[in-house]
A and B are shown apart, each in its own frame.
Chain A
Amino acid sequence: MSAGARPGAPAGRGSAVSDGRTLAPFGRRRAPVTGVERVGAYAVVSVADADGPAPDPGQFYMLAAAERWGGGADERPFLPRAFSVMRGHPGGRLDFLLEDVGPGTARLAELAPGEDVWLLGPLGRGFAAPRDGRRPVLAGGGVGIAPLAAWADAFGAAALVLLGFRDAEHAEGAALIPGARVATDDGSRGHRGLVTELLAAELGGDPRAEVYACGPPPMLEAVRAMCAEHGVPAQLALESGMACGYGACFGCVVPTRTGYVRLCVDGPVLDAAELEAVA
Protein backbone atom coordinates (compact mmCIF):
# COMPACT_ATOMS: atom_id res chain seq x y z
CA MET A 1 0.00 0.00 0.00
CA SER A 2 1.62 3.28 -1.08
CA ALA A 3 2.10 6.22 1.24
CA GLY A 4 -0.13 8.37 -0.96
CA ALA A 5 -3.16 6.13 -0.65
CA ARG A 6 -5.59 6.57 2.19
CA PRO A 7 -4.82 3.82 4.63
CA GLY A 8 -7.71 2.70 6.68
CA ALA A 9 -10.29 3.76 4.09
CA PRO A 10 -13.22 1.41 4.58
CA ALA A 11 -13.56 -1.48 2.20
CA GLY A 12 -15.39 -4.70 1.72
CA ARG A 13 -18.06 -5.21 4.29
CA GLY A 14 -20.67 -2.67 3.21
CA SER A 15 -19.58 0.25 5.38
CA ALA A 16 -20.86 3.75 4.65
CA VAL A 17 -18.73 6.84 4.96
CA SER A 18 -19.67 10.21 6.38
CA ASP A 19 -17.18 13.06 6.86
CA GLY A 20 -14.49 10.52 6.09
CA ARG A 21 -15.12 8.14 8.98
CA THR A 22 -16.61 4.67 9.02
CA LEU A 23 -20.09 4.90 10.53
CA ALA A 24 -21.26 2.75 13.40
CA PRO A 25 -24.39 0.65 13.25
CA PHE A 26 -27.00 2.48 15.30
CA GLY A 27 -27.20 0.91 18.74
CA ARG A 28 -25.08 -1.41 20.78
CA ARG A 29 -24.92 -5.06 19.72
CA ARG A 30 -23.99 -8.30 21.44
CA ALA A 31 -20.82 -9.92 20.18
CA PRO A 32 -19.18 -13.15 21.36
CA VAL A 33 -15.74 -13.17 22.93
CA THR A 34 -13.58 -15.51 20.91
CA GLY A 35 -10.41 -15.33 22.98
CA VAL A 36 -8.57 -13.56 25.76
CA GLU A 37 -4.81 -13.80 25.52
CA ARG A 38 -2.41 -12.56 28.18
CA VAL A 39 0.52 -10.64 26.79
CA GLY A 40 2.76 -9.67 29.68
CA ALA A 41 0.89 -7.16 31.82
CA TYR A 42 -1.86 -6.83 29.20
CA ALA A 43 -4.82 -8.84 27.96
CA VAL A 44 -5.86 -8.98 24.33
CA VAL A 45 -9.62 -9.47 24.15
CA SER A 46 -10.86 -10.73 20.79
CA VAL A 47 -14.49 -10.31 19.80
CA ALA A 48 -16.37 -11.59 16.74
CA ASP A 49 -18.20 -8.67 15.12
CA ALA A 50 -19.37 -10.46 12.00
CA ASP A 51 -22.03 -7.92 11.05
CA GLY A 52 -20.08 -4.78 11.86
CA PRO A 53 -18.07 -2.65 9.44
CA ALA A 54 -14.28 -2.68 9.31
CA PRO A 55 -12.97 0.08 11.57
CA ASP A 56 -10.52 2.76 10.53
CA PRO A 57 -7.21 2.64 12.44
CA GLY A 58 -7.55 5.07 15.35
CA GLN A 59 -11.28 4.54 15.78
CA PHE A 60 -12.59 3.09 19.04
CA TYR A 61 -15.46 1.09 20.48
CA MET A 62 -17.46 1.20 23.71
CA LEU A 63 -17.32 -2.17 25.44
CA ALA A 64 -19.12 -3.74 28.37
CA ALA A 65 -19.52 -7.32 29.49
CA ALA A 66 -23.04 -8.46 28.57
CA GLU A 67 -23.44 -10.25 31.91
CA ARG A 68 -22.25 -9.26 35.37
CA TRP A 69 -21.33 -5.70 34.47
CA GLY A 70 -21.52 -4.03 37.86
CA GLY A 71 -21.03 -5.51 41.29
CA GLY A 72 -17.28 -4.96 41.24
CA ALA A 73 -15.39 -2.44 43.35
CA ASP A 74 -17.92 0.15 44.63
CA GLU A 75 -20.57 -1.85 42.72
CA ARG A 76 -19.06 -0.54 39.48
CA PRO A 77 -18.79 -0.61 36.53
CA PHE A 78 -22.02 0.98 35.30
CA LEU A 79 -21.03 2.71 32.08
CA PRO A 80 -19.25 1.03 29.17
CA ARG A 81 -15.54 1.59 28.58
CA ALA A 82 -13.80 3.07 25.52
CA PHE A 83 -11.03 1.15 23.75
CA SER A 84 -9.21 1.92 20.54
CA VAL A 85 -9.33 -1.06 18.22
CA MET A 86 -5.92 -2.68 18.11
CA ARG A 87 -6.69 -4.69 14.99
CA GLY A 88 -9.72 -5.45 12.88
CA HIS A 89 -9.31 -8.72 11.00
CA PRO A 90 -11.01 -9.80 7.80
CA GLY A 91 -14.13 -11.73 8.76
CA GLY A 92 -14.94 -9.38 11.63
CA ARG A 93 -12.66 -10.28 14.53
CA LEU A 94 -11.74 -7.23 16.60
CA ASP A 95 -8.79 -7.21 19.00
CA PHE A 96 -8.67 -4.86 21.97
CA LEU A 97 -5.73 -4.29 24.29
CA LEU A 98 -6.37 -3.64 27.94
CA GLU A 99 -4.79 -3.66 31.36
CA ASP A 100 -6.66 -4.35 34.59
CA VAL A 101 -6.60 -0.92 36.24
CA GLY A 102 -10.14 -0.57 37.57
CA PRO A 103 -13.48 -2.34 37.92
CA GLY A 104 -14.33 -2.11 34.21
CA THR A 105 -11.05 -3.42 32.86
CA ALA A 106 -10.96 -6.03 35.64
CA ARG A 107 -14.24 -7.48 34.39
CA LEU A 108 -13.19 -7.30 30.75
CA ALA A 109 -9.84 -8.95 31.43
CA GLU A 110 -11.59 -11.92 33.04
CA LEU A 111 -13.91 -12.54 30.08
CA ALA A 112 -13.75 -15.99 28.52
CA PRO A 113 -14.86 -17.48 25.20
CA GLY A 114 -18.55 -18.26 25.47
CA GLU A 115 -19.30 -14.89 27.04
CA ASP A 116 -20.67 -11.91 25.14
CA VAL A 117 -19.83 -8.24 25.20
CA TRP A 118 -21.97 -5.24 24.31
CA LEU A 119 -20.25 -3.45 21.47
CA LEU A 120 -20.86 0.07 20.10
CA GLY A 121 -18.74 1.27 17.23
CA PRO A 122 -16.61 1.99 15.35
CA LEU A 123 -16.56 5.49 16.79
CA GLY A 124 -14.56 8.65 16.31
CA ARG A 125 -12.14 9.86 13.67
CA GLY A 126 -9.08 7.73 13.08
CA PHE A 127 -5.67 8.52 11.65
CA ALA A 128 -5.26 10.34 8.35
CA ALA A 129 -2.59 9.53 5.79
CA PRO A 130 0.72 11.39 6.06
CA ARG A 131 0.73 14.71 4.24
CA ASP A 132 3.25 15.68 1.58
CA GLY A 133 4.55 12.14 1.17
CA ARG A 134 6.18 12.26 4.62
CA ARG A 135 7.36 9.01 6.16
CA PRO A 136 5.19 7.78 9.03
CA VAL A 137 6.78 7.49 12.49
CA LEU A 138 4.57 5.85 15.10
CA ALA A 139 5.24 6.40 18.81
CA GLY A 140 3.33 4.51 21.46
CA GLY A 141 3.42 4.32 25.22
CA GLY A 142 1.99 1.55 27.35
CA VAL A 143 -1.53 0.49 26.50
CA GLY A 144 -1.53 3.39 24.01
CA ILE A 145 0.27 1.17 21.51
CA ALA A 146 -3.10 -0.36 20.62
CA PRO A 147 -4.33 1.93 17.80
CA LEU A 148 -0.83 2.06 16.35
CA ALA A 149 -0.93 -1.68 15.63
CA ALA A 150 -3.67 -1.31 13.01
CA TRP A 151 -2.00 1.79 11.62
CA ALA A 152 1.38 0.09 11.39
CA ASP A 153 -0.26 -2.80 9.54
CA ALA A 154 -1.60 -0.34 6.97
CA PHE A 155 1.94 0.79 6.11
CA GLY A 156 3.51 -2.63 6.10
CA ALA A 157 7.24 -2.33 6.64
CA ALA A 158 7.22 1.36 5.64
CA ALA A 159 6.44 2.70 9.12
CA LEU A 160 8.97 3.11 11.88
CA VAL A 161 7.37 2.10 15.19
CA LEU A 162 8.79 3.22 18.54
CA LEU A 163 7.22 1.79 21.71
CA GLY A 164 7.86 2.66 25.34
CA PHE A 165 6.91 0.71 28.46
CA ARG A 166 7.63 1.05 32.14
CA ASP A 167 9.22 -2.41 32.65
CA ALA A 168 9.88 -5.81 31.10
CA GLU A 169 6.46 -7.22 31.93
CA HIS A 170 4.73 -4.38 30.08
CA ALA A 171 7.36 -4.46 27.30
CA GLU A 172 6.10 -7.92 26.33
CA GLY A 173 3.37 -5.91 24.60
CA ALA A 174 5.91 -4.94 21.95
CA ALA A 175 5.38 -8.37 20.40
CA LEU A 176 2.03 -7.12 19.20
CA ILE A 177 3.74 -4.85 16.65
CA PRO A 178 6.56 -6.85 15.09
CA GLY A 179 9.67 -4.88 14.19
CA ALA A 180 9.09 -2.09 16.71
CA ARG A 181 11.98 -0.46 18.57
CA VAL A 182 11.49 -0.62 22.33
CA ALA A 183 12.34 1.62 25.27
CA THR A 184 11.73 0.77 28.92
CA ASP A 185 11.82 3.20 31.85
CA ASP A 186 13.95 0.78 33.86
CA GLY A 187 16.14 -0.35 30.98
CA SER A 188 15.08 -3.97 31.39
CA ARG A 189 14.57 -4.16 27.66
CA GLY A 190 15.75 -2.06 24.75
CA HIS A 191 16.67 1.57 25.29
CA ARG A 192 16.77 2.68 28.91
CA GLY A 193 14.56 5.70 29.07
CA LEU A 194 11.54 7.17 27.34
CA VAL A 195 10.15 6.49 23.89
CA THR A 196 10.30 10.23 23.30
CA GLU A 197 14.09 9.98 23.44
CA LEU A 198 13.96 7.49 20.57
CA LEU A 199 11.65 9.86 18.74
CA ALA A 200 13.92 12.85 19.28
CA ALA A 201 16.86 10.96 17.81
CA GLU A 202 14.77 9.93 14.82
CA LEU A 203 13.45 13.43 14.08
CA GLY A 204 16.86 14.93 14.67
CA GLY A 205 18.22 12.63 11.97
CA ASP A 206 15.48 13.36 9.44
CA PRO A 207 12.54 15.66 10.26
CA ARG A 208 10.64 14.90 7.07
CA ALA A 209 8.21 12.70 8.94
CA GLU A 210 4.64 12.69 10.16
CA VAL A 211 4.36 11.46 13.70
CA TYR A 212 1.45 9.41 15.03
CA ALA A 213 1.37 9.03 18.80
CA CYS A 214 -0.75 7.46 21.50
CA GLY A 215 0.09 7.07 25.17
CA PRO A 216 -0.17 8.77 28.54
CA PRO A 217 -0.74 12.55 28.60
CA PRO A 218 2.81 13.51 29.60
CA MET A 219 4.15 11.47 26.69
CA LEU A 220 1.72 13.06 24.24
CA GLU A 221 2.60 16.52 25.49
CA ALA A 222 6.30 15.78 25.03
CA VAL A 223 5.60 14.56 21.49
CA ARG A 224 3.48 17.61 20.74
CA ALA A 225 6.13 20.02 21.95
CA MET A 226 8.97 18.20 20.20
CA CYS A 227 7.12 18.07 16.89
CA ALA A 228 6.15 21.73 17.14
CA GLU A 229 9.79 22.64 17.73
CA HIS A 230 10.98 20.56 14.76
CA GLY A 231 8.17 21.69 12.49
CA VAL A 232 6.99 18.10 12.13
CA PRO A 233 3.24 17.49 11.73
CA ALA A 234 1.77 15.08 14.24
CA GLN A 235 -1.54 13.35 14.92
CA LEU A 236 -2.21 12.47 18.54
CA ALA A 237 -4.70 9.87 19.71
CA LEU A 238 -5.95 11.28 23.00
CA GLU A 239 -7.91 9.63 25.78
CA SER A 240 -10.55 10.83 28.20
CA GLY A 241 -13.10 9.33 30.52
CA MET A 242 -16.27 8.75 28.54
CA ALA A 243 -19.83 7.84 29.31
CA CYS A 244 -21.41 7.44 25.88
CA GLY A 245 -18.83 7.55 23.07
CA TYR A 246 -21.14 9.16 20.53
CA GLY A 247 -21.41 12.81 21.52
CA ALA A 248 -24.45 12.65 23.78
CA CYS A 249 -23.00 13.57 27.17
CA PHE A 250 -20.28 16.18 26.47
CA GLY A 251 -18.15 14.53 29.14
CA CYS A 252 -15.03 13.68 27.14
CA VAL A 253 -13.84 17.15 26.14
CA VAL A 254 -10.23 18.25 25.93
CA PRO A 255 -9.09 21.86 25.60
CA THR A 256 -7.89 22.96 22.16
CA ARG A 257 -6.88 26.31 20.70
CA THR A 258 -10.49 26.88 19.65
CA GLY A 259 -12.21 25.67 22.82
CA TYR A 260 -13.31 22.36 24.27
CA VAL A 261 -13.72 19.54 21.78
CA ARG A 262 -15.44 16.16 22.31
CA LEU A 263 -12.89 13.42 21.73
CA CYS A 264 -15.58 10.89 20.87
CA VAL A 265 -16.95 12.73 17.83
CA ASP A 266 -14.18 15.16 16.83
CA GLY A 267 -11.30 12.88 17.91
CA PRO A 268 -9.86 10.84 19.44
CA VAL A 269 -7.20 11.61 16.87
CA LEU A 270 -6.45 15.32 16.83
CA ASP A 271 -3.91 17.26 14.85
CA ALA A 272 -1.19 18.35 17.27
CA ALA A 273 -1.39 21.89 15.86
CA GLU A 274 -4.93 22.22 17.28
CA LEU A 275 -3.64 21.80 20.83
CA GLU A 276 -1.92 24.34 23.04
CA ALA A 277 -0.93 21.55 25.39
CA VAL A 278 -2.03 18.01 26.23
CA ALA A 279 -3.47 18.23 29.74
Chain B
Amino acid sequence: MIDFCGIELAHPVVNGSGTFDAIAARRVFGDALLERFPFAAFVSKTVTLEPRQGNPPPRLWELAGGMLNSIGLPNKGLDGYLAEDLPKLAELPVPLIVNVMGSSPEEVGRLVAAFAERDEVAALELNVSCPNVKTGLLMGADPGETAALLDAVRHLTTKPVIVKLTPNCVSPAAVAAAAEDHGADAVSLINTLRGMAMDPRRPARPWLGGVTGGMSGPAVRAVALAQVREVRARVAVPIVGMGGVQSGRHAADLLEAGADVVGVGTESFRDPLAGGRVADELARLSASGRAAPRAGVRHAAHVAQNG
Protein backbone atom coordinates (compact mmCIF):
# COMPACT_ATOMS: atom_id res chain seq x y z
CA MET B 1 0.00 0.00 0.00
CA ILE B 2 1.18 3.50 -0.86
CA ASP B 3 -0.12 6.73 0.63
CA PHE B 4 0.01 9.29 -2.16
CA CYS B 5 -1.26 12.70 -1.03
CA GLY B 6 -3.67 10.97 1.31
CA ILE B 7 -4.92 8.63 -1.43
CA GLU B 8 -4.40 4.94 -0.83
CA LEU B 9 -2.82 3.13 -3.79
CA ALA B 10 -2.57 -0.65 -3.88
CA HIS B 11 0.81 -0.38 -5.64
CA PRO B 12 2.95 2.42 -7.07
CA VAL B 13 1.97 2.18 -10.76
CA VAL B 14 -0.49 4.56 -12.43
CA ASN B 15 -1.08 5.36 -16.10
CA GLY B 16 0.22 8.40 -17.92
CA SER B 17 -2.64 10.73 -18.82
CA GLY B 18 -3.83 10.09 -22.36
CA THR B 19 -2.30 6.62 -22.70
CA PHE B 20 -5.28 4.51 -21.62
CA ASP B 21 -9.02 4.94 -22.20
CA ALA B 22 -10.75 2.91 -19.53
CA ILE B 23 -14.17 3.41 -21.10
CA ALA B 24 -13.07 2.21 -24.56
CA ALA B 25 -11.12 -0.65 -22.99
CA ARG B 26 -14.26 -1.85 -21.27
CA ARG B 27 -16.03 -2.00 -24.64
CA VAL B 28 -13.16 -3.98 -26.13
CA PHE B 29 -12.28 -6.34 -23.26
CA GLY B 30 -15.50 -6.40 -21.26
CA ASP B 31 -15.57 -6.63 -17.49
CA ALA B 32 -12.26 -8.51 -17.48
CA LEU B 33 -10.82 -4.98 -17.48
CA LEU B 34 -12.20 -4.38 -14.00
CA GLU B 35 -11.00 -7.71 -12.63
CA ARG B 36 -7.38 -7.05 -13.70
CA PHE B 37 -7.26 -3.26 -13.85
CA PRO B 38 -3.59 -2.52 -14.53
CA PHE B 39 -3.21 0.69 -12.51
CA ALA B 40 -3.47 1.68 -8.84
CA ALA B 41 -5.20 4.90 -9.85
CA PHE B 42 -6.61 5.96 -13.21
CA VAL B 43 -5.53 9.28 -14.67
CA SER B 44 -8.01 10.55 -17.24
CA LYS B 45 -7.11 12.01 -20.60
CA THR B 46 -6.98 15.80 -20.45
CA VAL B 47 -10.37 17.47 -20.08
CA THR B 48 -10.81 20.99 -21.45
CA LEU B 49 -13.71 23.40 -20.95
CA GLU B 50 -14.88 23.15 -24.54
CA PRO B 51 -15.02 19.96 -26.60
CA ARG B 52 -11.99 19.43 -28.83
CA GLN B 53 -11.82 17.33 -32.00
CA GLY B 54 -8.05 16.98 -31.88
CA ASN B 55 -5.47 17.27 -34.64
CA PRO B 56 -5.96 16.09 -38.21
CA PRO B 57 -4.29 12.78 -39.01
CA PRO B 58 -1.65 11.54 -39.27
CA ARG B 59 -1.38 11.57 -35.50
CA LEU B 60 1.28 8.89 -35.01
CA TRP B 61 4.82 8.19 -36.18
CA GLU B 62 6.96 5.28 -35.10
CA LEU B 63 10.59 5.89 -34.14
CA ALA B 64 13.52 3.81 -33.07
CA GLY B 65 12.57 2.83 -29.52
CA GLY B 66 9.42 4.93 -29.36
CA MET B 67 6.98 7.09 -31.18
CA LEU B 68 5.69 10.58 -31.83
CA ASN B 69 2.10 11.52 -31.17
CA SER B 70 0.23 14.63 -32.23
CA ILE B 71 -3.21 13.76 -30.99
CA GLY B 72 -4.30 17.28 -30.01
CA LEU B 73 -6.20 16.58 -26.76
CA PRO B 74 -9.54 15.47 -28.24
CA ASN B 75 -12.18 15.27 -25.53
CA LYS B 76 -15.88 15.85 -24.94
CA GLY B 77 -15.29 19.01 -22.93
CA LEU B 78 -16.27 19.56 -19.32
CA ASP B 79 -20.01 19.17 -19.71
CA GLY B 80 -19.72 16.01 -21.80
CA TYR B 81 -17.17 14.51 -19.43
CA LEU B 82 -19.33 15.17 -16.39
CA ALA B 83 -22.45 13.80 -18.03
CA GLU B 84 -21.06 10.78 -19.89
CA ASP B 85 -17.58 9.80 -18.73
CA LEU B 86 -17.44 10.54 -15.03
CA PRO B 87 -20.24 8.12 -14.11
CA LYS B 88 -18.48 5.31 -15.99
CA LEU B 89 -15.05 6.10 -14.57
CA ALA B 90 -16.56 6.11 -11.08
CA GLU B 91 -17.18 2.38 -11.60
CA LEU B 92 -13.46 1.63 -11.83
CA PRO B 93 -12.02 -0.23 -8.85
CA VAL B 94 -9.32 2.42 -8.26
CA PRO B 95 -9.17 6.13 -7.41
CA LEU B 96 -9.74 8.59 -10.26
CA ILE B 97 -7.38 11.46 -11.00
CA VAL B 98 -8.75 13.98 -13.50
CA ASN B 99 -6.26 15.76 -15.75
CA VAL B 100 -7.35 19.23 -16.91
CA MET B 101 -5.98 21.92 -19.16
CA GLY B 102 -7.01 25.48 -19.89
CA SER B 103 -5.57 28.28 -21.95
CA SER B 104 -5.53 30.67 -18.99
CA PRO B 105 -5.45 30.44 -15.17
CA GLU B 106 -9.08 31.51 -15.16
CA GLU B 107 -10.07 28.65 -17.45
CA VAL B 108 -8.15 26.14 -15.38
CA GLY B 109 -9.90 27.56 -12.33
CA ARG B 110 -13.31 26.83 -13.83
CA LEU B 111 -12.28 23.23 -14.45
CA VAL B 112 -10.82 22.83 -10.97
CA ALA B 113 -13.94 24.30 -9.38
CA ALA B 114 -16.18 21.95 -11.32
CA PHE B 115 -14.30 18.85 -10.14
CA ALA B 116 -13.66 20.11 -6.62
CA GLU B 117 -17.15 19.16 -5.50
CA ARG B 118 -17.23 15.70 -7.15
CA ASP B 119 -16.71 12.84 -4.73
CA GLU B 120 -15.84 10.55 -7.63
CA VAL B 121 -12.60 12.49 -8.13
CA ALA B 122 -9.66 11.78 -5.81
CA ALA B 123 -7.22 14.35 -7.19
CA LEU B 124 -6.60 16.78 -10.03
CA GLU B 125 -3.62 16.88 -12.36
CA LEU B 126 -2.88 20.14 -14.15
CA ASN B 127 -1.64 19.66 -17.70
CA VAL B 128 0.66 22.59 -18.20
CA SER B 129 2.96 20.63 -20.41
CA CYS B 130 1.40 19.38 -23.58
CA PRO B 131 3.85 20.18 -26.39
CA ASN B 132 1.22 19.88 -29.05
CA VAL B 133 -0.82 22.90 -28.02
CA LYS B 134 0.93 26.24 -27.60
CA THR B 135 -1.19 27.60 -24.79
CA GLY B 136 -0.43 24.66 -22.48
CA LEU B 137 3.28 25.08 -22.91
CA LEU B 138 3.34 28.69 -21.82
CA MET B 139 2.22 28.05 -18.25
CA GLY B 140 4.51 25.12 -17.67
CA ALA B 141 7.70 26.43 -19.17
CA ASP B 142 8.12 29.36 -16.80
CA PRO B 143 8.15 29.32 -12.97
CA GLY B 144 6.33 32.66 -12.78
CA GLU B 145 3.52 31.44 -15.02
CA THR B 146 3.23 28.25 -12.98
CA ALA B 147 3.09 30.23 -9.75
CA ALA B 148 0.35 32.46 -11.12
CA LEU B 149 -1.62 29.42 -12.18
CA LEU B 150 -1.43 27.81 -8.76
CA ASP B 151 -2.37 31.12 -7.12
CA ALA B 152 -5.50 31.20 -9.28
CA VAL B 153 -6.65 27.65 -8.58
CA ARG B 154 -5.16 26.34 -5.35
CA HIS B 155 -7.90 27.80 -3.13
CA LEU B 156 -10.67 26.32 -5.27
CA THR B 157 -10.24 22.77 -3.98
CA THR B 158 -8.98 20.82 -0.99
CA LYS B 159 -8.31 17.85 -3.22
CA PRO B 160 -4.67 17.07 -4.02
CA VAL B 161 -3.39 19.08 -6.98
CA ILE B 162 -0.62 17.53 -9.08
CA VAL B 163 1.26 19.63 -11.60
CA LYS B 164 2.40 17.70 -14.69
CA LEU B 165 5.66 19.27 -15.77
CA THR B 166 6.96 19.69 -19.29
CA PRO B 167 10.45 18.49 -20.19
CA ASN B 168 10.58 21.10 -22.95
CA CYS B 169 11.88 23.97 -20.86
CA VAL B 170 15.12 25.23 -19.39
CA SER B 171 14.53 24.09 -15.81
CA PRO B 172 11.80 21.66 -14.87
CA ALA B 173 13.15 21.82 -11.33
CA ALA B 174 12.54 25.57 -11.12
CA VAL B 175 8.99 25.08 -12.36
CA ALA B 176 8.48 22.25 -9.86
CA ALA B 177 9.77 24.46 -7.04
CA ALA B 178 7.39 27.25 -8.03
CA ALA B 179 4.52 24.75 -8.10
CA GLU B 180 5.43 23.48 -4.63
CA ASP B 181 5.87 26.97 -3.21
CA HIS B 182 2.42 27.96 -4.44
CA GLY B 183 0.63 24.94 -3.06
CA ALA B 184 0.93 21.99 -5.41
CA ASP B 185 0.69 18.68 -3.54
CA ALA B 186 2.75 16.74 -6.06
CA VAL B 187 4.42 16.97 -9.45
CA SER B 188 4.46 14.46 -12.31
CA LEU B 189 7.05 14.11 -15.06
CA ILE B 190 8.10 13.68 -17.75
CA ASN B 191 5.54 14.53 -20.37
CA THR B 192 6.52 13.96 -23.99
CA LEU B 193 9.52 15.58 -25.66
CA ARG B 194 8.77 17.88 -28.57
CA GLY B 195 9.72 16.23 -31.85
CA MET B 196 8.96 16.04 -35.53
CA ALA B 197 9.16 13.63 -38.44
CA MET B 198 9.35 14.20 -42.19
CA ASP B 199 6.87 12.65 -44.58
CA PRO B 200 8.78 9.90 -46.41
CA ARG B 201 6.63 10.32 -49.51
CA ARG B 202 6.56 14.11 -49.93
CA PRO B 203 9.69 16.26 -49.96
CA ALA B 204 10.10 18.84 -47.21
CA ARG B 205 6.72 18.08 -45.65
CA PRO B 206 6.25 17.15 -42.00
CA TRP B 207 4.53 13.83 -41.46
CA LEU B 208 2.25 14.72 -38.54
CA GLY B 209 -0.96 16.61 -39.20
CA GLY B 210 -0.08 18.77 -36.21
CA VAL B 211 3.46 19.27 -37.59
CA THR B 212 5.24 18.73 -34.26
CA GLY B 213 4.40 16.06 -31.76
CA GLY B 214 5.49 14.51 -28.50
CA MET B 215 8.08 11.76 -28.31
CA SER B 216 7.61 8.89 -25.88
CA GLY B 217 8.76 5.36 -25.28
CA PRO B 218 12.01 3.67 -24.23
CA ALA B 219 14.17 6.24 -26.01
CA VAL B 220 13.18 8.92 -23.45
CA ARG B 221 13.94 6.86 -20.34
CA ALA B 222 17.30 8.49 -19.72
CA VAL B 223 15.77 11.97 -19.95
CA ALA B 224 13.07 11.01 -17.47
CA LEU B 225 15.64 9.71 -14.98
CA ALA B 226 17.73 12.86 -15.21
CA GLN B 227 14.77 15.18 -14.78
CA VAL B 228 13.28 13.20 -11.88
CA ARG B 229 16.65 13.40 -10.13
CA GLU B 230 16.87 17.13 -10.82
CA VAL B 231 13.36 17.80 -9.55
CA ARG B 232 13.85 15.60 -6.48
CA ALA B 233 16.83 17.72 -5.49
CA ARG B 234 14.60 20.82 -5.43
CA VAL B 235 11.23 19.74 -3.99
CA ALA B 236 9.92 17.71 -1.05
CA VAL B 237 6.48 16.92 -2.50
CA PRO B 238 5.78 13.49 -3.95
CA ILE B 239 6.87 12.88 -7.53
CA VAL B 240 5.08 10.73 -10.09
CA GLY B 241 7.88 9.65 -12.42
CA MET B 242 7.35 8.31 -15.92
CA GLY B 243 8.98 8.02 -19.31
CA GLY B 244 9.62 4.85 -21.28
CA VAL B 245 8.88 2.42 -18.46
CA GLN B 246 8.62 -1.12 -19.82
CA SER B 247 9.55 -3.22 -16.82
CA GLY B 248 9.83 -3.38 -13.08
CA ARG B 249 13.51 -2.51 -13.40
CA HIS B 250 12.70 0.73 -15.22
CA ALA B 251 10.12 1.57 -12.57
CA ALA B 252 12.61 0.82 -9.80
CA ASP B 253 15.17 3.08 -11.44
CA LEU B 254 12.72 5.99 -11.39
CA LEU B 255 11.91 5.34 -7.74
CA GLU B 256 15.59 5.22 -6.90
CA ALA B 257 16.14 8.47 -8.81
CA GLY B 258 13.58 10.12 -6.56
CA ALA B 259 10.08 9.30 -7.71
CA ASP B 260 7.43 8.04 -5.29
CA VAL B 261 4.93 6.69 -7.79
CA VAL B 262 5.61 5.53 -11.35
CA GLY B 263 3.59 6.04 -14.53
CA VAL B 264 3.35 3.66 -17.47
CA GLY B 265 2.27 5.16 -20.78
CA THR B 266 3.48 4.11 -24.20
CA GLU B 267 4.15 0.53 -23.17
CA SER B 268 0.39 0.12 -22.63
CA PHE B 269 0.00 0.57 -26.41
CA ARG B 270 2.10 -2.56 -26.95
CA ASP B 271 0.56 -4.49 -24.05
CA PRO B 272 -2.68 -3.41 -22.37
CA LEU B 273 -1.63 -5.23 -19.21
CA ALA B 274 1.75 -3.47 -19.05
CA GLY B 275 0.88 -1.50 -15.90
CA GLY B 276 0.00 -4.60 -13.94
CA ARG B 277 3.03 -6.47 -15.22
CA VAL B 278 5.34 -3.61 -14.22
CA ALA B 279 3.76 -3.51 -10.76
CA ASP B 280 4.25 -7.26 -10.33
CA GLU B 281 7.87 -7.11 -11.50
CA LEU B 282 8.55 -4.13 -9.25
CA ALA B 283 7.11 -5.97 -6.25
CA ARG B 284 9.39 -8.94 -6.93
CA LEU B 285 12.43 -6.67 -7.20
CA SER B 286 11.53 -4.93 -3.96
CA ALA B 287 10.97 -8.22 -2.19
CA SER B 288 14.33 -9.54 -3.31
CA GLY B 289 16.13 -6.38 -2.28
CA ARG B 290 17.04 -5.30 -5.79
CA ALA B 291 14.94 -2.10 -5.63
CA ALA B 292 14.90 0.57 -2.94
CA PRO B 293 11.50 0.65 -1.15
CA ARG B 294 11.19 4.39 -1.57
CA ALA B 295 7.53 5.23 -1.76
CA GLY B 296 6.38 4.33 1.73
CA VAL B 297 9.28 6.12 3.37
CA ARG B 298 8.76 9.32 1.39
CA HIS B 299 5.07 9.59 2.03
CA ALA B 300 5.40 9.03 5.74
CA ALA B 301 7.88 11.91 5.86
CA HIS B 302 5.72 14.18 3.74
CA VAL B 303 2.59 13.52 5.74
CA ALA B 304 4.50 14.14 8.97
CA GLN B 305 5.61 17.53 7.65
CA ASN B 306 2.26 18.69 6.38
CA GLY B 307 -0.21 17.02 8.70
- State A262–B65 Cα separation when bound (angstroms): 25
Asked if B28 contacts A76 (CB within 8 A), the reply is no
Q: What residues of A have a CB within 8 angstroms of the CB of B19 in the complex?
A: 248-249
Asked if A25 contacts B53 (CB within 8 A), the reply is no
| A24 located at the interface, meaning its Cβ lies under 8 Å from any Cβ of chain B in the complex | yes
Known A248-B20, A248-B269; judge A241-B60 contact (CB<8 A): yes
Q: What residues of A have a CB within 8 angstroms of the CB of B27 in the complex?
A: 18-19, 247, 265
Q: What residues of A have a CB within 8 angstroms of the CB of B30 in the complex?
A: 16, 18, 23, 26
Asked if A249 contacts B269 (CB within 8 A), the reply is yes
Give residues of chain A (221-257) contacting chain B, Cβ–Cβ below 8 Å: 240-244, 246-255
| A64 located at the interface, meaning its Cβ lies under 8 Å from any Cβ of chain B in the complex | yes
- State A243–B268 Cα separation when bound (angstroms): 10
Known A25-B29, A246-B272; judge A78-B66 contact (CB<8 A): yes
| B62 located at the interface, meaning its Cβ lies under 8 Å from any Cβ of chain A in the complex | yes
Q: How many interface residues does chain B have, given as a range?
A: 35 or more
Q: What residues of B have a CB within 8 angstroms of the CB of A244 in the complex?
A: 268-270, 272
Looking at chain B's contact residues, the main secondary structure is loop
| B24 located at the interface, meaning its Cβ lies under 8 Å from any Cβ of chain A in the complex | yes
Asked if B29 contacts A246 (CB within 8 A), the reply is yes
Give residues of chain A (77-135) contacting chain B, Cβ–Cβ below 8 Å: 77-80, 118, 120, 123
Asked if A254 contacts B29 (CB within 8 A), the reply is no
- State A141–B71 Cα separation when bound (angstroms): 29
| B36 located at the interface, meaning its Cβ lies under 8 Å from any Cβ of chain A in the complex | yes
* Residues of chain B whose beta carbon lies under 8 Å from any beta carbon of chain A: 18-21, 24-25, 27-30, 32-33, 36, 45, 53-54, 56-60, 62-67, 69, 71, 74, 217, 268-273
Q: Given contact pairs A78-B217, A243-B67, A246-B25, enumerate 15 new A-B contacts (beta carbons under 8 Å).
A: A26-B273, A28-B270, A76-B62, A78-B65, A79-B270, A80-B270, A118-B270, A123-B28, A247-B28, A249-B19, A250-B45, A251-B57, A253-B54, A255-B56, A260-B74
